[in-house]
Copies of this chain bind each other. A is one copy, B any other.
Amino acid sequence: VPPSPTPRAVARAAQIATIKAVAQRLIAERGVAGLSLREVAREMGLVSSALYRYYASRDELLTALILDAYNDLGAAVERADARHAGESARQRWRVAARAIRTWAKRHPHQYGLLYGTPVPDYQAPPLTIEAATRSTRVLCNILSDDRRAGGASVTTSSGRDVRRFLMVDGVAAMLPGVAEDDYLAALMAWTHIFGFVSFELFGHYVGSVRNATLMFDEVTDRLADLLDLSD
């Protein structure tokens, strides 16, 4: 028998959810610097000190928000990929990349929280670091699955030793079945996707890009070429 949660526990969970929702809205409206515990409390009709029942400090709340954002993004990408399970690697790649960009455009300030300027003096706890890899892991799986299915075709083996600059052990764990020679291309592909999204969101394509959605698809395809994903 699962112990039915006490009313107090239910209320507590609801309060935490509300706190985070209000905090996220504040960040969306005024940026990270605009997040204040007093304001959150005010909007909830509480006295500011009441929030300390839930978070020991502003930083702790911020950490929770960052963690949630990473997980939210990760879940969105996972869901998108799951919807296209069994399709070609190229198709899955397109879909996953789009999911990242779509989430970012829907939650621009949360995206900024994750991939923009780091908050000064803020140190991400290990739990956050793990959540951070969730979206990337989907991209890794797509490449991995394709290599294992397609007979591990090696792309441009430049003959250069990737071990000089990559932590191959860590990368290998994320990319089983992928040849070491492809690690660089993989990292470049992830970098490019997030680089594109950041450039778009932060306004650096103003004046040169007319339709970012179309361009993103085009870019995504070229990255798929680079990764030699099968069609």
Query: Which residues of chain A have a CB within 8 Å of any CB of chain B?
Result: 30-34, 112-113, 115-120, 124, 129, 132, 160, 164-167, 170-171, 184, 187-188, 191-192, 194-196, 198-199, 202-204, 207-215, 218-219, 222
Within the oligomer, what is the number of copies of this chain? 2
Q: Is the CB of B215 within 8 A of A170?
A: no
Partner of A166, one of B119, B188, B192, B208: B208
Q: Is the CB of A208 within 8 A of B171?
A: yes
Q: Is the CB of A215 within 8 A of B184?
A: yes
For the complex, what is the distance from the CA of A219 to the CA of B34, rounded to whole Å? Answer: 37
Q: Is the CB of B222 within 8 A of A164?
A: no
Partner of A215, one of B129, B166, B202: B166
Partner of A165, one of B132, B170, B191, B214: B214
For the complex, what is the distance from the CA of A120 to the CA of B116, rounded to whole Å? Answer: 13
For the complex, what is the distance from the CA of A212 to the CA of B192, rounded to whole Å? Answer: 16
Known contacts A164-B211, A166-B208, A218-B165; A117/B188 CB under 8 A: no
Q: Is the CB of B208 within 8 A of A199?
A: no
For the complex, what is the distance from the CA of A101 to the CA of B34, rounded to whole Å? Answer: 31
Q: Is the CB of A215 within 8 A of B165?
A: yes
29 A-B pairs whose Cβ atoms sit less than 8 Å apart in the complex: A30-B120, A31-B117, A32-B33, A32-B117, A34-B120, A115-B204, A116-B116, A116-B202, A117-B202, A118-B203, A124-B203, A132-B204, A160-B218, A164-B210, A165-B212, A165-B218, A166-B208, A166-B210, A167-B208, A170-B207, A184-B219, A187-B208, A187-B209, A188-B222, A192-B192, A192-B195, A194-B199, A195-B198, A195-B199
Q: Is the CB of A119 within 8 A of B212?
A: no
For the complex, what is the distance from the CA of A33 to the CA of B31, rounded to whole Å? Answer: 11
Q: Is the CB of A31 within 8 A of B119?
A: yes
